[in-house]
Amino acid sequence: MWIKMFNALLTVLYGVGAALIIYWALNKLAELLPAKLEERLKPYFYILPAYLAISVYLLYPAIQTVINSFQDRTSEEWVGLQNYSDLLSSAAFRDTLFNTVLWMLVVPAATVVLGLAVATLADRLKPSTEKLTKTIIFLPMAISLVGAAVIWDLVYAVRPAGQPQTGLQNAIVTVLGFDPITWLQESTLHLNSFLLMLVLLWAQVGFAMVLLSAAVKGVPVDTLEAARIDGANERKIFFQVVVPQIKGTIITVFITVLISVMKIFDIVFVMTRGNYNTNVLGNEFFTQLNTNFNNGAAAAVVVLLMVAVIPVMFYQVKHFKAEEANA
């Protein structure tokens, strides 16, 4: 344990020290230039490491991935659009796309609705009770998705009929007189996918609650009082006064969760490995790369995911700029 702590501390010191040395060297290099040129170029010197990191760790891998998607499984020969054709013509991959879209439709919307409901209700509690309630609800955010998946795997656990059920849901089911259910294998109406979504909801509602609670508290009291004077009830005040004024925060939470959902992997991999019709694009990429050893198909999956994510990211940037302009 002490060795791990020492290694972690050493890593931090090395990282901070290296960053200080780099920026010190760049500053000295800028000082060697003529005064006017130094003033103009020094800001670019300071952002140069960030641009280099983005280029090396983001742009180059992205370009290489696009190239690999047009090559065979060993990335040695060009196959054109064959990888995309094979994937899209596969019934299993079409089911994977459908599952991913289902996650995108359900989880972000449910997270916003539940987060807003919890934030609104918690704000009406006494201050001490409000803090405790919000802390408990936010606590799952501190747990990794792998840890959350392990916890909920115990909730959905099933043992043969007649044996004591260790899973919470099957313990309740058997107490009511029914046979235990293999929850994560029930693909009828995508029940198992919805149960997996519940894990991410449990982990993300606290995040939505914190942001939306701050937004609700920031709504001017004058507008609320004016609505009450006009005879509006609490429901109308909430939907016609509060919600329009926190629209920007709602969109931010929705898009942030949406991007996370499009990349979801941990929960599906830990709980079902993508079996029983629960597969998603993130898990499909892992399977193609590490099980099928098909570099071309894995790269094609990533490219499809990038094509889907990029418009959402552009919209988010545009939204942030609009929010800053209106601030």
Q: Does some domain include residue 225?
A: yes
Q: Is residue 84 part of a domain?
A: no
Q: Indicate the pTM of the whole model.
A: 0.87
Separation between Cα atoms, residue 140 and residue 215, nearest integer Å: 21
71 bridge partner residues: 78
One domain, residues 39 and 124: no
94 lies in the same domain as 59: no
180 shares a domain with 279: yes
Residues 233 and 176 grouped into a single domain: yes
175 in the same domain as 264: yes
Distance from C-alpha of 246 to C-alpha of 254, rounded to nearest angstrom: 12
C-alpha to C-alpha distance for 213 and 196, rounded to whole angstroms: 26
**Overall number of domains in the chain:** 2
Angle in degrees, 0-180, between the axes of helices 295-326 and 60-68, rounded to the nearest 10: 140
**39 and 146 co-located in one domain:** no
Residues 41 and 190 in one domain: no
Query: What would the DSSP string read from start to end of 43-81?
Result: HHHHHHHHHHHHIIIIIHHHHHHHHHTTB-TTSSSB-TT
What's residue 50's pLDDT?
85
Q: Domain with 303 in it: what CATH number?
A: 1.10.3720.10
Rounded CA gap, 294 and 307, in Å? 20
Per-residue pLDDT tens over the stretch 79-128? 999 999 999 999 999 999 999 999 999 999 999 999 999 998 888 888 88
Compute CA distances 130 → 121, 177, 203, 221, whole Å: 9, 38, 19, 20
In a domain, 198, yes or no: yes
Q: Which two tokens stand for residue 121?
A: 């209700």
Does any domain span residue 145?
yes
Residue 79 lies in a domain: no
Neighbours of 138 (CB within 10 A): 15
In a domain, 304, yes or no: yes
Query: Which of 257, 262, 270, 273 lies closest to 151 in space, CA to CA?
Result: 270
Do 192 and 53 have their domain in common? no
Same domain, 152 and 299: yes
Tokens found for residue 90: 């596969």
Would you say residue 73 lies in a domain? Answer: no
Residues 17 and 165 in one domain: no
Count of H-run helices and E-run strands, the chain: 16, 0
Of 170, 151, 152, the C-alpha closest to 160 is 170
In a domain, 54, yes or no: yes
Of 68, 102, 117, the position where a domain reaches its end is 68
pLDDT, tens only, 123-180: 888 888 888 888 899 999 889 999 999 999 999 999 998 889 989 999 999 999 899 9
Answer yes or no: do 299 and 248 share one domain.
yes
What span, in angstroms and rounded, lies between the C-alpha atoms of 15 and 183? 46
Same domain, 162 and 197: yes
Residue 15 has a pLDDT of 83
- The residue that leads in pLDDT, 28 or 66, is 66
Domain containing residue 120 = 90-326
